[in-house]
Amino acid sequence: MGFDVGAVRAAYPALADGYAYLDGAAGTQVPAPVIEAIAEAYRGGLGNTGGVFPASDRSQELTDRCRAAIAALTGGQPGGVILGPSMTALTYRLAGTLARDWRPGDEVVVSRLDHDANVRPWVQAAERAGATVRWAEPDPATGELPAAQYAGLLSPRTRLVAVTAASNIIGTRPDVPAITAAARAAGALSYVDGVHATPHGPTDMVALGADFYATSAYKWSGPHLAAVVADPGLLATLHPDKLRPAPAEAPDCFERGTLPFADLAGAAAAVEHLASLAGPAGGSSLRERVLAAMAEVAAYEQDLFAVLLGGLDALEHVTTYGKAASRTATAFFNVEGWTPQEVAEHLARHRVNVWNGDNYAWELAGVLGIRESGSAVRAGLVHYNDRSDVDRLLTAVADLA
């Protein structure tokens, strides 16, 4: 059976307001089972973990369930799932921890395709350690990030390679396995930003070769929290700053303070919700079902994206950015004679939610040569968008001719 977008949309109460939510790349709406799981967690009574009473046990169960669900989503291990408030906060945390061992003359490699959350924490940590930053460059014409350039960027002094699994503005999916393999051969760790990639298809962080894989639940129908997933054995070798009485073992030692337990219930429910999209044919384990579902999501999104991109490219007064061979369903465009802000405002009047600006892909907006002029407009599809969302956007953009 094909992907039933009508049934999917019915699960998301917020979509009933009649807006075309093409802002999913900035954060998705939340389906009823996630809202219910969060409410249920609070209704059931929560306590801090480590206590001797049932409410404390319930919080621990929610934490375990969340780690297991995020491991199922990413192909990691539950014991390697570090939970935290946002990818940005967690990346600063990991950068501070990893950079403790960096010495002057060490090197880190970042890319100008990346969201700044996978750039600046490494650049700043490198500056403090006296390490050198090397830059991987996307091709401005295609938006590709050629993996071959990494051979020239890596050296025996490279400590870390940070790269995105997908650009949050032009959707480019670089050849991450090739990049991480080159990093490993040079003796460096890899930190893969999966925040934009995770909601758009199956994720296998082992196949990606990622030593660290970052993802944010609010991009895949969950609440506002994030995770960095790594091999538990690798985490055991690291020593993050922590409070004296706080747990010494990973992943807990990376999680500063008390976790948002009810939101953890929501994140687990979001993975279960995604897995449920596969229907009964999906398989038995949560991992199998979520992989099957995300493959269906990817196929559905790509079909709809062809309509969106084809429609935009057919308009003479529109310029689109990015032509990568493999990309998520994320359009980035400008309209002649209108600023990105004006286009977004026009679309909002037509009840279409889009973002304008660099969306924190600050380096990439510079590479594309549009940062100073307000960058562009982003219309990102997720699995709950449908043809009417796309048609409404295209009609409203056509009106700006």
Ligand X SMILES: Cc1ncc(COP(=O)(O)O)c(C=O)c1O
The binding site for ligand X (CB under 6 A) comprises 26, 86-88, 115, 117-118, 164, 168, 193, 195-196, 216, 226
Q: How far is the CB of 164 from ligand X (least distance, A)?
A: 6
Please say which residue, 225 or 269, places its beta carbon nearer to ligand X.
225
Least distance to ligand X, CB of residue 134, Å: 20
Measured at the CA of 290, the angle between CA 284 and CA 293, to 5 degrees, comes to 105
Between residues 193 and 389, which has the closer beta carbon with respect to ligand X?
A: 193
CB of 58 to ligand X, least distance (A): 26
Residues 6+ apart with CB under 8 A from 260: 85, 223, 225
Q: How far apart are CA 7 and CA 216, in angstroms?
A: 24
Q: Least distance in Å: CB of 267 to ligand X?
A: 12
Q: Which is nearer to ligand X, 87 or 186 (CB)?
A: 87
SS3 content of the chain, % helix, strand, coil (to 5): 45, 15, 40
Token pair, residue 357, equals 């600006």
CB of 365 to ligand X, least distance (A): 13
Q: Which is nearer to ligand X, 355 or 384 (CB)?
A: 355
Beta bridge partners of 163: 192
Tokens of 195: 């925040």
Q: Provide the minimum distance between the beta carbon of 196 and ligand X in the complex, in angstroms, as a whole number.
A: 4
Give 59 or 168: the residue with its C-beta nearer to ligand X.
168
Rounded Cα distance between 5 and 300, Å, is 9
Q: Max CA-CA distance within the chain?
A: 67
CA–CA separation, 312 vs 397, rounded Å? 8
- Residue 363 is classified by DSSP as H
Specify the residue, 164 or 221, whose C-beta has the smaller distance to ligand X: 164
Closest-CA residue to 76 (of 196, 193, 232): 232
Q: Is 330 helix (H, G, I), strand (E, B) or coil?
A: strand
**Complete DSSP assignment for 168-193:** TTT-B---HHHHHHHHHHTT-EEEEE
Least separation in angstroms between residue 220's CB and ligand X is: 11
Which of residues 126 and 195 has its CB atom nearest to ligand X in the complex? Answer: 195
Residue in 190, 168, 192, 172 with CA at minimum distance from that of residue 181: 190
* Minimal distance, residue 138 CB to ligand X, in Å: 14
Output 193 or 231, the one with its CB closest to ligand X: 193
Pick 227 or 250: Cβ nearer ligand X = 227
> Do 332 and 170 form a contact (C-beta atoms < 8 A)?
yes
CB of 264 to ligand X, least distance (A): 15
Comparison of 223 and 251: residue with beta carbon closer to ligand X: 223
H or E stretch covering 17? none
Q: How far is the CB of 162 from ligand X (least distance, A)?
A: 11
- Collect all residues with Cβ–Cβ distance below 8 Å to 39 and sequence separation of at least 6: none
Cis bond upstream, residue 13 (ω within 30): no
CA 101 distance to own-chain centroid: 27
Question: Which residues are CB-neighbours of 244 under 8 A, at least 6 positions away?
Answer: none
Beta strands in 121-272 (DSSP E): 132-136, 158-164, 189-193, 212-216, 226-230
